[in-house]
Structure 1
Amino acid sequence: MVERFVTAPIDELAVFHLKCLYALSQKRYNEAYQLQSALTQALTKIIQSQKEENWFLPVMYVVCLDLRTVAQKAESEKVGNTEKPGEILEKAAESLMGCFRVCAADNRSSEEDTKRIGMLNLVNQLFKVYFRINKLHLCKPLIRAIESSPFKESFSLSQQITYRYYVGRKAMFDSDYKAADQYLTYAFENCHKSSKRNKRLILIYLVPVKMLLGYIPKREVLEKYDVIQFWDLVEAVCQGNLKLFDELMEKHESFFIKCGIYLIIDKLKIIAYRNLFRKVYLILDKHQIPVEALQTALVSLGQTDVDLDETQCIVANLIYEGKIKGYISHQHRKVVVSKQNPFPPLTSLS
Structure 2
Amino acid sequence: MIKIDSELGPTDAVDIDLYFKKKYSDSGFYLFLSATKKEHQCTFLLQSSDDKLAKLYNICIKLHAGAYNILSLCQEQVRIMNRISETETDWITEPLWFVCHQMIQYCSTDTAQLENCGRLIHRSFNLCLNDRNPVLSSNRKSGSYSLANLEFIIYHKLKNRDMMKNLVKVLQSRNMDIIMDQPSNKEKNSIKVGHMVRYYYYLGEYYGCFESDFNKASTFLSIALLHCNFNYKTHIAKILVLLVPFVIVSRKMYPNEKVLTQLLSATGQYGEKLFKFIIQLVYCLKSGDIHGYDKFVSSNEVFLLKNGIYVAMCHIRELVFLKFFKTCTKMIGNNKTIVPLSSIAEVYGNYSQRKKKIRRLINMKSKKDTKIPIDITSLENKEMNENMDELECLLANLINKGFIKGYLSHSNRCIVLSKNDAFPHLSSSL
Q: Would the TM-score normalized by the shorter structure come out above 0.5?
A: yes
> What is the aligned partner in structure 2 of residue 81 from structure 1?
none
Q: Map 1:62-211 to 2 at 5 A.
A: 62-71=98-107, 74-75=108-109, 78=110, 86-132=111-157, 133-135=159-161, 136-145=164-173, 147=175, 153=183, 154=187, 155-173=191-209, 174-211=211-248
Q: Are the counterparts in 2 of residues 241 and 301 from structure 1 also a CA contact under 8 Å?
A: no
Inter-CA distance 149–134: structure 2 relative to 1 (3 Å threshold): closer
Q: Deviations over 1:143-202 (max 9, x none)?
A: 315525999621332222211111111221222222122111111111112111111111
Q: Deviations over 1:240-293 (max 9, x none)?
A: 112211222233233222222223223211111111111112222311111112
Question: What is the Cα deviation at residue 235 of structure 1?
Answer: 0.5
Match of 2:73 among 35, 48, 64: 35
Q: Are the counterparts in 1 of residues 340 and 414 from structure 2 also a CA contact under 8 Å?
A: yes
Residues of 1 paired with 2:150 and 2:395: CA distance? 44
> What is the aligned partner in structure 1 of residue 10 from structure 2?
none
Q: Which moved more, 1:296-305 or 1:52-61?
A: 296-305
Match of 1:308 among 388, 392, 415: 388
Opposite residue 221 of structure 2, the aligned amino acid is L
Q: Are the counterparts in 1 of residues 204 and 219 from structure 2 also a CA contact under 8 Å?
A: yes
Q: Are the counterparts in 2 of residues 172 and 180 from structure 1 also a CA contact under 8 Å?
A: yes
Opposite residue 300 of structure 1, the aligned amino acid is N
> What is the aligned partner in structure 1 of residue 379 from structure 2?
none
Unaligned runs of 5+ in 2: 1-31, 33-43, 265-270, 355-382
Q: Are the counterparts in 1 of residues 215 and 247 from structure 2 also a CA contact under 8 Å?
A: no
Inter-CA distance 139–53: structure 2 relative to 1 (3 Å threshold): closer
Inter-CA distance 19–337: structure 2 relative to 1 (3 Å threshold): farther
Match of 1:9 among 52, 74, 79: 52
Is residue 334 of structure 2 the alignment partner of residue 290 of structure 1? no
> What is the aligned partner in structure 1 of residue 409 from structure 2?
329
Q: Which moved more, 1:114-123 or 1:6-15?
A: 6-15
Report percent identity of matched pairs. 23
Q: Are the counterparts in 2 of residues 242 and 301 from structure 1 also a CA contact under 8 Å?
A: no
Question: What is the Cα deviation at residue 109 of structure 1?
Answer: 2.6
Inter-CA distance 142–220: structure 2 relative to 1 (3 Å threshold): farther
Opposite residue 288 of structure 1, the aligned amino acid is I
Opposite residue 76 of structure 2, the aligned amino acid is A
Question: What is the Cα deviation at residue 214 of structure 1?
Answer: 1.2
Q: Deviations over 1:33-71 (max 9, x none)?
A: 3332222112111112x1x63332221010111122222
Residues of 2 paired with 1:141 and 1:59: CA distance? 26
Q: Could you tell me the TM-score, scaled by structure 2's length?
A: 0.70
Q: Which moved more, 1:181-190 or 1:338-347?
A: 338-347
State the number of aligned residues: 328
Question: What is the Cα deviation at residue 21 of structure 1?
Answer: 6.4
Residues of 2 paired with 1:342 and 1:149: CA distance? 38
Residues of 2 paired with 1:291 and 1:129: CA distance? 51
Opposite residue 298 of structure 1, the aligned amino acid is Y
Opposite residue 244 of structure 2, the aligned amino acid is V
Q: Are the counterparts in 1 of residues 254 and 427 from structure 2 also a CA contact under 8 Å?
A: no
Q: Are the counterparts in 2 of residues 219 and 231 from structure 1 also a CA contact under 8 Å?
A: yes
Q: Could you tell me the TM-score, scaled by structure 1's length?
A: 0.84
Q: Are the counterparts in 2 of residues 188 and 202 from structure 1 also a CA contact under 8 Å?
A: yes
User: Max radius of gyration: which structure?
Assistant: 2
Q: Are the counterparts in 1 of residues 146 and 196 from structure 2 also a CA contact under 8 Å?
A: no
Alignment RMSD? 2.8
